[in-house]
Amino acid sequence: MSRRKKTGRDISGIVILDKPLELSSNHAVQRVKRLFNANKAGHTGSLDPLASGVLPICLGHATKVSSYLLASDKTYQFTMHLGQTTSTGDSEGEVLKERPVPSIIKDELLEILQRFTGHIQQIPPMYSALKHEGQRLYKLARQGQSVERPARSLEIKALQLIVKEKDSLTLEATCSKGTYIRVLAEDIGEAIGCGAYVMMLRRLVTGPFRINESVTLDKLQSISEKSDAGNFLALDEQLQSLDAALQDYPSLQWVDEYKQRLCQGQAVVCETAPKQPLIRLYGQDDTIFGLGKWCEPNLIAPIRIFD
């Protein structure tokens, strides 16, 4: 059976979207894909509808680097309501328990936050997209089921108190892949002694991309409406280059002979190569053409070719 032919432009780049509230990540991807008339699009880590902020959307060949953004550190600002726990860990869920909020001074609070900084164990929530025996956990949760979930190792690289109110805290957390902020808030609430749920969540950073570099859907829509039909020049100015997602990794430039060998899957000798598991590969025209890795003895082996 023949494959369905893709429609749309063969455009490559990354849209640093400021995802609005009440919109799923997948719906955001589809709207951006339609605006750019791209033949391929994907995001780099879901944001719940109740969360806003940085959602990099990869178009065309840039989808080949989405996994590296998915694995990158992220920074969130979130407000947690103290004194209540809910079934979902956020304001959408049913209130399960209410407790008085104890009086706690700032130094005591900072000591509690310190316990959740560094390498920690976290049990994923039932309301998540993880699977148990082939079924999404959130689907089981909606059926009233709860299954055992193994704890996962992760790292909270920074946890900062932004605002302290009588019944709420606003924090900023920089964390590794797979961190559930809802669970972090719940665990902090339990450590305080009153429980908590997330009432506001905003992603500020994903990998190298920050909220001040982002663009809203409203702005993209406005640019599209002001452009002539079939003219995408103004929209394309909003795109980041494919290698912008990889700027934290070292790079090597290759003459055409070695570029061709790498593109054919061959490893090449490089005495001065950085001994790193991921290296950006550039041609003589300063355009990235793939990713490689260092391996013994002083070889660079291709991992992914974009051409």
pLDDT at 115 over 70: yes
Residues 6+ apart with CB under 8 A from 41: 29, 30, 32, 33, 57, 58, 59, 63
pLDDT at 281 over 70: yes
Q: What is the DSSP string of 94-114?
A: PEEEE-PPPP--HHHHHHHHH
Of the candidates 48, 90, 187, 243, the residue annotated as catalytic is 48
Confidence (pLDDT) at 5: 62
More confident residue, 255 or 165: 165
pLDDT at 236: 95
Q: What are the chain's domains?
A: 13-71+209-243 (3.30.2350.10), 74-206 (3.30.2350.10), 249-305 (2.30.130.10)
Q: How far is 114 from 227, CA to CA, in rounded Å?
A: 51
Q: What is the pLDDT of residue 277?
A: 86
Helix or strand (DSSP H, E) at 70: helix 66-70
C-alpha closest to that of 160 among 246, 237, 76 = 76
Close Cβ partners of 22 (under 8 Å, ≥ 6 residues apart)? 49, 50
The C-alpha angle 155, 173, 125, rounded to 5 degrees, equals 65
Helix residue ranges, H only, 156-271:
181-192, 217-226, 233-236, 256-263
Q: Which residues contact 277 (CB under 8 A, 6 or more apart)?
A: 293, 294
Average pLDDT, the chain: 91
pLDDT digits (tens, 9 = 90+) for 246-276: 888 899 989 888 899 999 999 999 888 888 8
Q: Which two tokens stand for residue 102?
A: 């104890």
Q: Which residues of 24-52 are buried (b: 16+ CB within 10 A; e: fewer)?
A: ebeebbebbbebbebebbbbbbbbbbbbb
Distance, CA of 271 to chain centre: 35
Q: Distance between CA atoms of 138 and 246, rounded to whole angstroms? A: 33
Q: How far apart are CA 161 and CA 171, in angstroms?
A: 5
Supply the pLDDT for residue 144: 80
Work out the average pLDDT over 166-189: 96
48 is catalytic: yes
Range in 57-66, 71-80, 119-128, 141-150 the model is least confident about: 141-150
Name every residue whose Cβ is closer than 8 Å to that of residue 119 and which is 6 or more positions away in sequence.
153, 154, 155
Rounded CA separation 262/281 (Å): 9
User: Which of helix, strand or coil describes residue 2?
Assistant: coil
> What integer is the mean pLDDT of 85-107?
94
With CA atoms as reference, report the closest residue to 291 among 256, 245, 255, 223.
Answer: 245
